Structure formats: structure tokens, C-alpha cells
Amino acid sequence: MAKGLILKTSNNTETACYELSLFGADIQARDEVLMIEPGDRLFLMNVDRNDLTGAFEATDKGGYKIVPEAWKGQYPYQVKVKQSNNLHTIIDAKEILNSLRLRSHRLLHDFEAEAIAQVIAANDFQETLPLTRRALPNSIKIASKELDKVRRERGISKLDDEHPSLESTTLWDYPKQSYGRTPKGNNKYAGVTPAFIIYNLVKRYTLPGDLVVDPMCGSGTTIDVCREEGRRVIGYDVVPTRPDIIQNDARRIPLDDNSVDMIFIDSPYGDNIKYNESPLSFGNISAETEEFYDELEKVMVEAHRVLKPGKVLGWLIGDQWVKRKFTPVGFKIYNRLTCHFEPMDIICVTRRSQTSNTGMWHNRALRFNFYLRGFKYLHIVRKPSSDSPLTQTGRARKIKWAYYQRDQ
């Protein structure tokens, strides 16, 4: 059954959509465009005019750089469309989509695409007052009822629409551990990873069908996120907590060289949490000893071996302050990582649901003059490839610096 997608355009990019019969998107709708099949219905939302035009029909599968020079390469995930004579445009697009509980850049069910097509074709609300200040037009009331009915019948809830946003800065802050209808990992597991972190890495650095590996996957957050996003995934742990996790010591990953598209690791940060009784657990080694970093470096070497060249490893880690001694675990792990990998970025992830987030601990921190840990590091590195800076020699990078005048 055909489905649909609403893609965004602007006054600047719209002409090319019509001239080339091509719609484009950046990473924000990459997966969705790549999942478009011939016959799917497409709608074009001009964000400057806040209008919506459709329905177009995809003439081919969505792909990468179908017309490489279009939009100077800025919207490389593209789909070819058929422009029928039956195109209509409606205004107040954002408000209408909100009232129908639909969003751009999300795959639409067949019945959702049909509802928008009908609202656009009815076009019974060309009025001067904005939609927020007048009664809902008939077509929207009918569509809204029909959508609610089918959603109820098919058991689709609001939670199914809940997806994290893609982060654009290096400061990530999540008030809860998971999102959506199904749990991701187990939020009762000590040291569980916020699913949003894994979602962001998976969406940025992998494509649907890619293989993601988590060598220390605890309660399985990586497995759950990857499955929902259509990635293949293997999760290992020294003590598996569920049947789809494979028992394995991360110092030896049973996979071929150059076979994995992304690795995520949220390792123990020292011996502050007792994960299990296994003598092989890194959670038994103090982060104040070099042994901790030597053992984790063995995991880095394995991660490097199994990753394909150019592919990404994300490593979440926090510093330690125990009995008046600070250990910069994050820096030390980063130092080891960069012996093998090329640095890409460091993200600061705020720590929220800490057991030490109590009045008593905040008081102690002030009284005894120390700080509670407020953040973790997410180190993002990649295995060097032939076209990456670590392996390039003598090729100068052109940098254009901007100088800003400062007020005195």
C-alpha cells in the first residue's frame, strides 16, 4: 500500500523542485526519503509561505544524489516526482498539519497521505483570517475524525509519533531515559544509557540496513533503538540481561575485520557501580589505576579492527570524584581513543537522574568543597580511511578565518 511524505522547501529552493521534478532533503529526512517507493504520495511544504502543495507521486525509489548538482548538493537525499494537472495548494499548512496530528519529514501511513490529499483537494478555506482565529473548515473536521478512527482501529497512539530531534550543538540534555511507545533498554538498569544519545548517533552516522554493534550493551538500549530505526544490530555483554544479548568479553569481538558500520559503547566509568559478579567486568577495576585504561584500550583495538574504514565509534564516559580524589576519566579515555582513531567531536551530555542529585549531596559538595558530576563526555571518533586527514599527507586545508571587531 502506498504511503507518503511531506518534504519542506523554501522560496529559494522551490523553483528547482518543479524544474527538475525532484524533491530533496538533508539528513533530517534522509531515512524517510530513502524509504520512498514508486507510487508513494508526496507533498511539498513551502516554509516561507506556509503552504502545502500536492499530491505528487514518486516515480522511482528515493535515493542519494539522483541529480548531484541540484541545490549545490545541499539536499542530496532525493526523489523524482510526477507532476499531475491535479495539483492544489492550501495555506496555513503548519496549523492544518498540527490539527491533523501530522508532521513533515515523517513517513505517512497510507490513510494519512489520503487524508491530506483530500483536504488539499477540497481547498475549502481560502479565507483572510488565519486558521487559529476561525472555525475549522469542514474538510479538516472530516479528515480529523477519519484519522482518529483509523488510528484507533490500527492501535496507533500519540506515542508512536514521538521521536527525538537531531541535535545540532555539542550540549545534549535529556530529562528522561527513553521515548516512544516501546521502552528502549531498561530504565531500572544501573548505568542505563539515555536512548536519545544512541538515536542521535545512529541517525547521523548510519543508514537503514547498516550494522551497529554495542560490545557492552547492558540492558539493550542500543538494540531497541536500532531495531526501531531499521538498522541491523548486535549487542554483547559480559553478563547478558536478556536473550537477544550475546555473552562476550568486549576485549575480543567475534566479528570479521572491517565489517561494522558503527559502534556505540557506554563502558563502566570505574568501579563505582557493581554491574554483576563477573570477574571479567571492567566495573571491578578502579579508574584511578592505569590497568583500567589498559584494559579498555584492548576494546578500542578490537573496535578499530571490526569497524569499516571511515566509520564511527561513540564512547560515553564520565569523570570520577571519590574520597577527595578527582580522576579525569573522560580525558584519559579520549587520549587512548585518539591513539587509534581520528577525533570527530566531543559532546557534553548533562547528568540528570543521578543518585547523588539530592539535597544532602548538594550540601556536602558545598561543605566539603567539591563538585558533583554534572555531565558526561560522548567522544565521537572514527576509524581513519584513505580520504581522512589522519592518513593524508601534505595536503593543505584551506581555512578562511573571519575576524570580528571587538567593542572596547
Ligand X SMILES: C[S@@+](CC[C@H](N)C(=O)[O-])C[C@H]1O[C@@H](n2cnc3c(N)ncnc32)[C@H](O)[C@@H]1O
323 C-beta neighbours (distance < 10 Å), count: 5
Phi and psi angles of residue 187, each rounded to the nearest 5 degrees, phi first? -70, 0
Note whether 312 and 344 are within 8 A (CB). Answer: yes
> Degrees (nearest 5) of the Cα angle 306, 309, 311?
80
Nearer to ligand X, 280 or 365 (CB): 280
Contact string 329-348 vs ligand X (x = CB under 6 A): --------------------
Q: Any contact of residue 217 with ligand X (CB under 6 A)?
A: yes
Contact string 118-147 vs ligand X (x = CB under 6 A): ------------------------------
- DSSP symbol at 108: B
Q: Any contact of residue 240 with ligand X (CB under 6 A)?
A: no
Nearer to ligand X, 89 or 276 (CB): 276
Q: Any contact of residue 185 with ligand X (CB under 6 A)?
A: yes
Taking the C-alpha atoms of residue 205 and residue 262, their distance in angstroms, rounded to an integer, is: 7
Q: Any contact of residue 13 with ligand X (CB under 6 A)?
A: no
Tell me which of 36, 192, 201, 253 binds ligand X, using CB under 6 A.
192
Q: Any contact of residue 193 with ligand X (CB under 6 A)?
A: yes
Nearer to ligand X, 115 or 197 (CB): 197
Q: Any contact of residue 314 with ligand X (CB under 6 A)?
A: no
User: How many residues contact ligand X, by CB under 6 A?
Assistant: 26
In the block, residue with C-alpha cell 491530506: 116
Taking the C-alpha atoms of residue 208 and residue 229, their distance in angstroms, rounded to an integer, is: 7
Taking the C-alpha atoms of residue 182 and residue 4, their distance in angstroms, rounded to an integer, is: 24
Question: Nearest residue by C-beta to ligand X?
Answer: 218
Q: Any contact of residue 366 with ligand X (CB under 6 A)?
A: no
Phi and psi angles of residue 305, each rounded to the nearest 5 degrees, phi first? -65, -45
**69: which 3 cell numbers?**
548538482
Q: Applying CB under 6 A, which part among 116-124, 189-197, 345-353, 392-400 lies near ligand X?
A: 189-197
In the block, residue with C-alpha cell 568501579: 271
Closest residue by Cα to residue 373 from 365, 382, 363: 365
In the block, residue with C-alpha cell 543521578: 354
Contact string 254-293 vs ligand X (x = CB under 6 A): ------------xxx------xx---xxxx----------
Q: Any contact of residue 31 with ligand X (CB under 6 A)?
A: no
Nearer to ligand X, 78 or 267 (CB): 267
Q: Applying CB under 6 A, which part among 157-165, 216-224, 322-330, 389-397 lies near ligand X?
A: 216-224
Taking the C-alpha atoms of residue 243 and residue 254, their distance in angstroms, rounded to an integer, is: 18
Note whether 102 and 116 are within 8 A (CB). Answer: yes
Q: Any contact of residue 174 with ligand X (CB under 6 A)?
A: no
Shortest Cβ distance from residue 272 to ligand X (Å)?
Answer: 10
**97: which 3 cell numbers?**
498539519
Residue numbers of the site for ligand X (CB under 6 A)? 185, 189, 191-193, 215-219, 221, 236-239, 249-250, 266-268, 275-276, 280-283
